[in-house]
Amino acid sequence: MASVFSPPGFDFSNTLRNNFFAEKGVPLPKATSTGTTIVGCLFADGIVLGADTRATEGPIVADKNCEKIHYITDNIRCCGAGTAADTEFTTALISSNMELHSLSTGRKPRVVTAMTMLKQMLFRYQGHIGAALVLGGVDATGPHLFTIHPHGSTDKLPYVTMGSGSLAAMAVFESSWKPNMSREDALELVKTAIKAGIFNDLGSGSNVDACVITASHTEMLRNIEMPNERVQKERQYGFRRGTTAWKSEEIRSLVVSEEVTILGAGDAMDTT
């Protein structure tokens, strides 16, 4: 009798082989985490989210300008730290589920709904999905800001940081955050916090992304500050024509002969 329950969706048929290898001394390759600075803070009219744009693969920078602020719904965004694939997949799945849910209830989606969906899913996977998220948005009940850790625990706070650069960013927040800031002050604070992470943490770098969410609309400020632009090279490194002499030159056309035949010319309908 087939089971009425849906299967987990992941294939575990390699666990026996992997355990055998692990016993023989060949460990599983470690999933690399992004190393990130992501922040969120509450201000007078809503939420400001911020993120750096570097994705690392061990000691190598895999992506110099990646997007870490993911779309959940029009008024809710989520920054993701941890394993890049896990954050992208999780936020995309929750975004689809939120859309279905809001179509089913007929109401505007709420931040707590997204938070509950995320935390229940991450708890089910016991932390094997390495996604540390900062979820923020403004809904009918007001602005809300949550963090969700990979094992499923959540916090609701007025200002949060996650990722390898979280301590640098939190130091900035702890010294300068005040309740009911203006939009300019909040944005400046978020930019300073992300820059602290960019300059003091190896896992974070490149540019600053920000997102301002208010009750009326959401503004995505991609690459709002680029403190790491490449300096233009001082010298030209192209070779001028004539640097290397060549002995002989022969130009051949690879087309020997060309004949154009028009096909389908007699396809017109026969109206005789």
Partner 1 sequence: MEPSFRIVPGSAPKSASVNDTANSLGLHDTLQYGPRSIAAEIKTENALKDRLENWEETQDNLKLSMQRNLYGLHAPMRLLMERKIVSANPHMAGLPQSNLHLDILMGRDETIEPVDIFGGMEDAPPLNIHKDMEKKLNM
- 25: which 2 tokens? 């001394």
Min dist. Cβ of residue 114 to partner 1 (A): 13
Is the separation of the CB atoms in 47 and 53 below 8 Å? no
Min dist. Cβ of residue 11 to partner 1 (A): 7
Quick one: 28 or 255, whose CB is closer to partner 1? Answer: 28
Where do the DSSP E strands lie in the chain? Answer: 38-42, 46-52, 55-57, 60-63, 69-73, 76-82, 131-139, 142-148, 154-156, 159-162, 208-214, 218-225
36 carries an active-site annotation: yes
Given the residues 15, 32, 34, 36, select the one marked as catalytic.
36
Quick one: 17 or 230, whose CB is closer to partner 1? Answer: 17
Quick one: 4 or 245, whose CB is closer to partner 1? Answer: 4
Min dist. Cβ of residue 63 to partner 1 (A): 23
Sequence-distant (≥ 6) Cβ neighbours of residue 197 within 8 angstroms: 36, 37, 39, 52, 161, 163, 165, 166, 168, 169, 204
Q: What's CA 163's distance to the chain center, in Å? A: 13
Min dist. Cβ of residue 128 to partner 1 (A): 6
Q: Hey, is 91 helix, strand or coil?
A: helix
Give the residues lining the site for partner 1 (CB under 8 A). Answer: 1-2, 4-12, 15-16, 19-20, 23, 93, 96-97, 100-101, 103-104, 124-126, 128
Quick one: 108 or 128, whose CB is closer to partner 1? Answer: 128
Sequence-distant (≥ 6) Cβ neighbours of residue 167 within 8 angstroms: 161
Length of the chain in terms of residues written: 272
Backbone dihedral angles phi then psi of residue 200, each to the nearest 5 degrees:
-110, -5
Q: Would you please indicate which residues are annotated as catalytic (active-site) residues?
A: 36
